[in-house]
Structure 1
Amino acid sequence: MEKSGSKTGKKSRKRWITDWWPNRLNLKILRQNCPNQNPYGEDYDYAREVETLDIDAVIKDLKDIMKNSQDWWPADFGHYGPLFIRLAWHSAGSYRIYDGRGGARDGSIRFPPRINWPDNVNLDKAIRLLWPVKKKYGRKLSWADLIILAGTVALEDMGVKILGFALGREDVFEPDESPDWGPEEEMLTAKRGEKEKLERPYAATEMGLIYVNPEGPGGNPDPAESAKEIRTAFARMGMNDEETVALIAGGHAFGKCHGAGPAEYLGPDPSSSPIEMQGLGWKYEYKSGKGPDTYTSGFELIWSPTPTKFGIQYLHILFKYEWELEKSPAGKYQWVAKDAPEIIPDAYDPNKKHRPRMLTADLALRFDPKYAEIAKRFLENPEEFEKAFARAWFKLTHRDMGPKECYLGKYVPKETFIWQDPLPERDYELIEEEDVRYLKKRLLEELSVKQLVYYAWASASTYRNSDRKGGVNGARIRLYPMNEWEVNHPEELKKVVKVYEKIQREFNEEQEAKGNDKKVSLADLIVLGGCAAIEEAARKAGFSVEVPFVAGRVDALQEHVDAEFYKAIEPFADGFRNYFRNPESIDEADVYTTPEYFLVDKANLLTLTVPEMVVLIAGMRVLGANYNYSDYGVLTDKPETLTNDFFVNLLDMSYEWRAADSYRYTFEAVDRKSGEVRWRATRVDLIIGHHDELRAVAEVYACDDAKEKFVRDFVSAWAKVMHLDRFDLWRNNRELYRKLTSGIM
């Protein structure tokens, strides 16, 4: 008998579940980076290890490596500094504000998809050049920290007065397999909208790029149109015009682009390369394939006559000459200065000079009026330019690290930046157990269970582990713009905040009258309200529980809020509160447009496991904490009581579910015998019973013997979300922080 595929000569391929059912909701991102994946073990504490690191020794080693050109991958101009700057930049530069993903905090540039992006060609070489340093310091120095430190030290070695540097980035040991890198099936095929309409959450115009196509939009060498794309892409990374110009002009003061020959000689990316390449890719079979014969981007140009020294030469040349279009040896559009002398040094031949050349994306800084104004000011004020570049570089390479409490090492700048979500220092004593009991009682007297749960969740669930931003600490929900987010019930929120403020004021005044230096923050009150409500709901269900609570949160002022950032990240979906702004956008043929996908995405940002996500949804429903307090998914006759009724009724075969709208967003449960509509729900609710893995979890909690387990597990998951942003605890009591955020309280 012939084997399958023998007639065509093709080998049969084993298929994964995702091959057979590509539209099946993938829960894998809720299982990534588990402790078992870390070869250092569960007890490994990188923050503790890095505090023992001799960073000055590392800096010395890096400076030595930078000037020691190696035959297997020669250094341009005899200095690896420009290559290390590019590595650090591309590690940090994939950050995007909408979900905080990308960036440099976990060293994930070492893994696909990012290591394989065409924009990252030959950064695999840069990482290998750093291996001797990583090897020497081992567990005390992560790749994530080393990559950013290498770029920063390179800047300093080449003349930049850097602002500072923070350690504290911990490595992951597997790729980020979330599907949020782009809708394309091929690299460099733009499917993300055009110019100002760049699709969320992306910060690059095409899969495989960090920002924009250097040739111009879609390869069209139009500097003015390129400027539009640059502005949108950099804004998606949280950079304004001044920071954008500073970064481009500062970064392009160094190094060169490589496009020595045709692209057809370029080998596959690292993950696609033969096994003998040992993780390296992009082998170039043109001449020597390295040094002067290197292919990286396909452009062949050097921006400055001083490519290993910081200065204003790039800006000077940009404005001094007129530019004419040409093509690189690889056939890419680039620009050459008209009638310019050969003033640009060759990277390898000291006797050879070149005319100045630029990318279309460079000329955007000259031909866009706003960019040109900033660039000319920098040209006329070199010290201002250097300071602006140093600040923008620090932001670029640190903005995904979270609050300043997460910064480690002796070179952390004293200045605090608005993008770090700053908080005021606490200058009062914390409330104690007796105060906690009193405040819980007061909160339950003033607000309903569903209100207390709703606003505690609304505050705390803004946290995202991707960049450690958001959370309840600071009570920013009462400040602009979070107090205007649609999902936060703006009109009711004003009234609820007044209740919190009244209780806070009365308590603090009473303590002052007693001569106590004890106060309660609004942030702590918001969390306490959730605790009180859940304990009361559990009591009504017949269980006595105490929801973990650790005081110590403080209240931010409006001046502490990065308003533009928080305006940009207003949620359009929150499955935990059954909120989905645009049900007309649902396309069942594309799971990534559905509210259940955004639920999983949100759960991933909150570091939730599959069971934690499931119990939180069920608990929020029976507690009535839905957007607009609707009855969708509230599958219980005893709302505001912490029962497992959601699971019981969802899995009850007495009902048949039917679509209730043309978008297939809402559904009704019809009694099979009477035809009566018994329950209403959304796709987020029904996915728990439809998806095989989620149903398996739901069945555990729907059992008669699981009522108490559900309550206990809900409390643990709730406490986790409420404490994720407590980096004051992470800094001062790491074991307590780990316990609170482990989900095993």
Structure 2
Amino acid sequence: MDGNDIGKCPVMHGASLTTSFGGRTNEDWWPNALKVDVLHQHGKTNNPMDPDFDYREAVKGLDYDAIKADLHALMTDSQPWWPADWGHYGGLMIRLAWHAAGTYRHFDGRGGGATGNQRFAPLNSWPDNASLDKARRLLWPIKKKYGNAISWADLMLLSGNIAYESMGLKTFGFGFGRADIWAPEIDINWGEEDEWLAPSENRYEDLEDTSTMSNPLAATHMGLIYVNPEGVNGIPDPAKTALHVRETFARMAMNDEETAALAAGGHTVGKAHGNGDAGALGAEPEGAGVEAQGFGWGNPSQTDLAASLITSGIEGAWTTEPTKFDMGYFKLLFGYEWQLTKSPAGANQWEPIDIKEEDMPVDASDPSVRRMPMMTDADMAMKVDPIYREICEKFMADEAYFRDTFARAWFKLTHRDMGPKANYIGPDVPAEDLIWQDPIPAGKTDYDVAAVKAKIADAGISQSDMITTAWDSARTYRASDKRGGANGARIRLAPQRDWEGNERERLDGVFKKLEPIAAETGVSLADIIVLAGNMGIEAAAKSAGYDIEVPFSPGRGDATEEMTDVDSFDVLEPISDGFRNWHSKDARKSREDMFLDRAQLLDLTGAEATVLLGGMRVLGTNHGGTAHGVFTDRVGQLTQDFFTTLTDMSYEWKPGPDDIYEICDRATGETKFTATSADLVFGSNSVLRAYAEVYAQDDNAEKFVRDFVAAWTKVMNADRFDLA
């Protein structure tokens, strides 16, 4: 795999990451303004498909056997404009799939290959993704042929799967179903640096303590997928590099065994390209001229020979037979001693001492010539680090075990951000349930909902507790990787039940009343929690004068502790929830920034987020029962009062102690209400105020209730992939 070729970066260091479009933007003028546009980035206006197009339905009609056959044929159909190493594109396609999936990080579930985001900046121009533009262009004839039945997201990852099969690996399976996005993602924090490959110190409080890397980042440098292959900050030291490899892969939810398997299996095939001057390469795709037509990193010395290709700087293959998935990586890494050397481009890499000629791979273009293999500092880490070495020795003793472990780790890498198995489509979906898929058993659907509601009504639970418990159960959903949500009722399990934001004592009291109903009726607690929340909303609407039924879809199941990957579930813990006006001391960003982050992860639009917050305030659902933002004397009724008070000019707003604001009567000076910045931002931010004014209008009282119920239902059903 050519994955971390950065020996001599083809992108100018220190170059600005911002782009001018003929004038200063609002962000240029007001860089600290709340960036509300993250809630609008994937709207209908930028999607070229027909309004009724459903990719998940379209891909079910794909001729799976035909497209896999075409991909197999592609692997050995070398093109003169980008010749294949040893006549096989396997290594390139694996790198394409790997780098599409490898941006995933579990802290916020963002990144990954499930959206086809590698087609857009900044990913299409990252130094670590040099020449992957060529891989996508090689795939274009297949994309063109199958059209809407295959997304770029699915195609790029499928190409890696087929590449491994073509090179001798029995893969674990494949699931289709990744729908493409149509514009760059603006919600992902790739780092604060203003230059590519800036020193790692920018990302750590203490470079010697890898756990201090800034969250949610996972890679060690801006523009890299994982770690610097030459060593920490380009300084070779395999023992030190191993620590950074471990932290980086842990932030992708990979354990040590999976990490070692991926390192070995990834570098069992393909090669790195640095047999020339990487500094002579042209601009990256986003910086190249129109005549480049989306290509970047133009190589003035390229010929029709594979050996003339340059990606960045490291040069050579890792194994003797780089087009075969075998045990060659271990044979060379552990069979020889290695010494530090330089590639032709000047990159730090390792070469074996006194290697036998028959163990040297042949030239990528000329099979009559043998070349020196190489290892990166990250590869040497597998040999030097005692934990990784022990795992590799286990693999070497059992090839079948290594193949199976790698196949499973590769499957996890390429499917981690698809969420539960219900999202997988196609004939190659594995039957086995995997714990990282957050499995949930099917729930009961054929029951008398009205009868269950009657039992809930008799349970003596307050309206606020019913609404709050349902919200806390559902708010964990992340559209980024489709994890969390109300389905499974994991709010009653460790670690979720003990999260600060869930108020364990209050939860226990609610569950004490709801669990007997679940036991008596055979209905899942997950369904009952949501149903109770809906009942609270219905009661609140009725007391405000609106008789409305909140839609309810039965069928949620209850997960068990055994079905819950506790370690990886910890990252779903909220540290701030603007909807309940709660902000943990551990939150490093402002209340309003964290509110937008939560709203975006819940896949809410600006209007949906606005109406939900305003409704939650008047319902009295604040964490700890605080009165901040509860701009009403009719607490518990689903009214417009939050918005009418916020926009009422008979009040003025004054900063108070402890970051709390006071809402005062202009005539008397009396403090009428208190608020946080998460409340007042709906009056101060021009976009959010525009939404707030809609819900404050006299003629929109009923619309407010309808819209609140619709947004509430969207959150409750966010993880109901069976309803799609």
The normalised TM-score by structure 1 is 0.91
CA distance in 2, matches of 1:19, 1:323: 50
Hey, what does 1:499 align to over in structure 2? 513
Q: Secondary structure at the match of 1:334?
A: strand
Task: Give the one of 591, 596, 604 matched to 2:592.
Answer: 596
Task: Give the one of 357, 375, 381 matched to 1:364.
Answer: 381
Contact 1:453 1:529 in 2 (8 A): yes
Hey, what does 1:729 align to over in structure 2? 723
Listed one character per residue, the Cα deviations across residues 206-261 of structure 1 (whole Å, up to 9, x for unaligned) are 11111111111111111111111111110110100000000010010001111122
User: In structure 2, do the counterparts of structure 1 residues 724 and 287 end up closer, same or farther at CA, with 3 Å as the change threshold?
Assistant: closer
Matches within 5 A, 1:182-331: 182-189=191-198, 190=200, 191-193=202-204, 194=207, 195-286=210-301, 288=303, 291-331=306-346
User: Could you tell me which amino acid in structure 2 is paired with residue 441 of structure 1?
Assistant: A
Q: Secondary structure at the match of 1:400?
A: helix
Contact 2:126 2:223 in 1 (8 A): yes
User: Could you tell me which amino acid in structure 2 is paired with residue 126 of structure 1?
Assistant: A
Shift of 1:13: 4.1
Shift of 1:183: 1.2
Task: Give the one of 647, 651, 654 matched to 1:651.
Answer: 647
Hey, what does 1:513 align to over in structure 2? none
Q: Secondary structure at the match of 2:417?
A: coil
Hey, what does 1:462 align to over in structure 2? 476
1:170 has 2:179 as partner: yes
Contact 1:430 1:520 in 2 (8 A): no
Shift of 1:421: 1.1
Shift of 1:431: 2.2
1:567 has 2:583 as partner: no
Hey, what does 2:4 align to over in structure 1? none
Query: Identical aligned pairs, as a percentage?
Result: 50
Shift of 1:310: 0.7
Hey, what does 1:386 align to over in structure 2? 403
1:450 has 2:464 as partner: yes
Task: Give the one of 474, 478, 494 matched to 2:488.
Answer: 474
Task: Give the one of 642, 646, 663 matched to 1:669.
Answer: 663
Matches within 5 A, 1:78-227: 78-189=87-198, 190=200, 191-193=202-204, 194=207, 195-227=210-242
Task: Give the one of 533, 543, 546 matched to 2:546.
Answer: 543
Contact 1:284 1:290 in 2 (8 A): no
Listed one character per residue, the Cα deviations across residues 653-704 of structure 1 (whole Å, up to 9, x for unaligned) are 2333222346xx4222233333332211111111111000111111111122
| RMSD value, Cα | 1.7
CA distance in 1, matches of 2:516, 2:290: 67
Structure 2: 5+ residue stretches without partners: 1-19
Contact 1:89 1:151 in 2 (8 A): yes
Q: Secondary structure at the match of 2:418?
A: coil
User: In structure 2, do the counterparts of structure 1 residues 546 and 290 end up closer, same or farther at CA, with 3 Å as the change threshold?
Assistant: farther
CA distance in 2, matches of 1:553, 1:260: 57
CA distance in 2, matches of 1:374, 1:433: 52
Bigger CA drift: 487-496 or 674-683?
Answer: 674-683
Contact 2:81 2:304 in 1 (8 A): no
Contact 1:345 1:353 in 2 (8 A): yes
CA distance in 2, matches of 1:356, 1:157: 22
User: Could you tell me which amino acid in structure 2 is paired with residue 432 of structure 1?
Assistant: D
Listed one character per residue, the Cα deviations across residues 617-644 of structure 1 (whole Å, up to 9, x for unaligned) are 0111111111112111111111111111
CA distance in 2, matches of 1:18, 1:377: 53
| Structure 1 residue ranges, 4+ long, deviating more than 4 angstroms after superposition | none
Contact 2:575 2:586 in 1 (8 A): no
Task: Give the one of 692, 699, 702 matched to 1:698.
Answer: 692
CA distance in 1, matches of 2:353, 2:30: 57
Contact 2:154 2:176 in 1 (8 A): yes
Shift of 1:391: 0.4
CA distance in 2, matches of 1:547, 1:98: 33
Listed one character per residue, the Cα deviations across residues 76-130 of structure 1 (whole Å, up to 9, x for unaligned) are 1110011000000111111111111111111111111111111100000000001
Hey, what does 2:556 align to over in structure 1? 553
Hey, what does 2:534 align to over in structure 1? 531
CA distance in 1, matches of 2:175, 2:681: 42
Contact 2:77 2:88 in 1 (8 A): yes
CA distance in 2, matches of 1:137, 1:569: 37
Matches within 5 A, 1:37-116: 37-116=46-125
Task: Give the one of 602, 608, 615 matched to 1:606.
Answer: 602
Shift of 1:329: 1.7
Contact 2:305 2:365 in 1 (8 A): no
Contact 2:111 2:188 in 1 (8 A): no
Hey, what does 1:576 align to over in structure 2? 579
Shift of 1:440: 4.7
Hey, what does 1:515 align to over in structure 2? none
Hey, what does 1:625 align to over in structure 2? 621
Q: Secondary structure at the match of 2:661?
A: strand
Hey, what does 2:673 align to over in structure 1? 679
Contact 2:191 2:222 in 1 (8 A): yes
Shift of 1:173: 1.2
Task: Give the one of 419, 434, 437 matched to 1:420.
Answer: 437
Contact 1:196 1:228 in 2 (8 A): no
Hey, what does 1:430 align to over in structure 2? 446
Count of aligned pairs between the two proteins:
697
Contact 2:456 2:517 in 1 (8 A): no
User: In structure 2, do the counterparts of structure 1 residues 584 and 535 end up closer, same or farther at CA, with 3 Å as the change threshold?
Assistant: closer
CA distance in 1, matches of 2:143, 2:48: 15
Structure 1: 5+ residue stretches without partners: 1-10, 509-518, 586-592, 731-745
Shift of 1:562: 1.1
CA distance in 2, matches of 1:364, 1:569: 31
CA distance in 2, matches of 1:688, 1:637: 20
Hey, what does 1:8 align to over in structure 2? none
User: Could you tell me which amino acid in structure 1 is paired with residue 228 of structure 2?
Assistant: N
Hey, what does 1:4 align to over in structure 2? none
Bigger CA drift: 25-34 or 375-384?
Answer: 25-34
Contact 1:35 1:41 in 2 (8 A): no
Bigger CA drift: 300-309 or 647-656?
Answer: 647-656
CA distance in 2, matches of 1:583, 1:344: 52
Q: Secondary structure at the match of 2:636?
A: coil
User: In structure 2, do the counterparts of structure 1 residues 549 and 133 end up closer, same or farther at CA, with 3 Å as the change threshold?
Assistant: same
The normalised TM-score by structure 2 is 0.94
CA distance in 1, matches of 2:445, 2:338: 65
Shift of 1:290: 6.8
Shift of 1:504: 2.2
Contact 1:477 1:483 in 2 (8 A): yes
Contact 2:484 2:572 in 1 (8 A): no
CA distance in 1, matches of 2:580, 2:281: 50
